[in-house]
Copies of this chain bind each other. A is one copy, B any other.
Amino acid sequence: MSILVVGSVAYDTIETVSERREKQLGGSASYFSIAASRFSSVRAVGVVGDDFRQSDMDLLVSKGIDVAGIERAEGKTFSWSGRYHQDMIERDTLATELGVFETFQPVLPIGWSESPYVLLANIHPSLQSDVLSKMKSSKLVILDTMNLWIKNTREELVSVLKDVDILLVNDSEARLLSGKESLSEAATIIRDMGPEKIVIKKGEHGALLFCKDSVLAVPAIILPEVVDPTGAGDSFAGGFIGHLAAEGADRNSSDLVFRQAMVSATAVASHCPEAFSVEGLLSMDENSYQSRRDTLLDMMVP
């Protein structure tokens, strides 16, 4: 069943201690869509500028992603530039240019408002709210956000959270949003804001799924080398909702399918940091996906 994602399509310039890559395909919607496309059909909503390479659009299409919701506007594609530290976790943002994203107003192609699965990727909560208000008969709504929106647009974010089934954040964001240091208390506070389930991403330490009566901790797969961790969280989101869409899950499904989705999400996301841009995700085939899933289960079950 179809997943609708609204998010950024971007050009990233990434520096690591050993390499620098310019203007490579990035953005939450790009990573998410490619990751989710392994499981389900994906409809992408976003905007790119007139500098956006046709080859990048073709790449998305080649993964079966419906790009009818990606508007081509006059101006420059949203761009982000960052430098990773030696540990490949800490990073400094060197530049952010909103470009065509500054005036982006999401428009859904005809029929897309009936998409059963909705991923509101990490963008301004008013845009997330705008898209969500157009959706009819959704089975599951997942929202990702970041420190910037929690700090600067808290009211809008809290408002849209009321209609969200699952919140996807990292641990510092969960603490910032809830005002609680303990993640179990943070999850309780956030649940009162609307989302029934909370996924807390912890990078190399894995991820936690808080359901009403249970918690699942999934470790990250330990990679011999991290080349570029950009987009791993968005890839995780793609694998997560992708699994749920493939299973036909909805907000009333048992915890089990959500727990299994965490495993799929981790297996998919583990490919992302192995290469720059979306190259790691593109290198994933059925063998590597299944083998990562097996590795992960072996890491989890004592």
Binding site for B on A (CB under 8 A): 86-88, 181-185, 202, 205-206, 208, 214-219, 222-226, 259-260, 262-263, 297-302
Contact = CB atoms under 8 A, between A and B. Distances in A.
A300 B300 contact: yes
Contacts of A302: 216, 218, 259-260, 262-263, 297, 300
Contacts of A219: 206, 208, 217, 219
Given A205-B202, A205-B205, A217 B300 contact: yes
Contacts of A225: 182
Please give the count of copies of this chain that the complex contains: 2
A117 to B, nearest CB: 21
Given A87-B181, A205-B206, 17 more contacts: A86-B181, A88-B181, A182-B225, A182-B226, A183-B222, A184-B223, A208-B222, A214-B298, A215-B222, A215-B299, A216-B299, A217-B299, A218-B302, A259-B302, A263-B302, A297-B302, A301-B301
Contacts of A216: 299-300, 302
Contacts of A182: 222-226
A300 B298 contact: no
Contact of A224 (B87, B184, B205, B224): B184
Given A205-B202, A217-B206, A224 B185 contact: yes
A8 to B, nearest CB: 29
Per CB-CB distance, the 8 closest pairs between chain A and chain B, nearest first, are A217-B219, A205-B205, A259-B302, A184-B222, A217-B299, A263-B302, A215-B299, A300-B300
Nearest to A266: B302
A216 B300 CA distance: 6
10 contacts: A88-B181, A182-B225, A184-B223, A206-B219, A208-B222, A216-B300, A217-B299, A218-B302, A219-B219, A260-B302
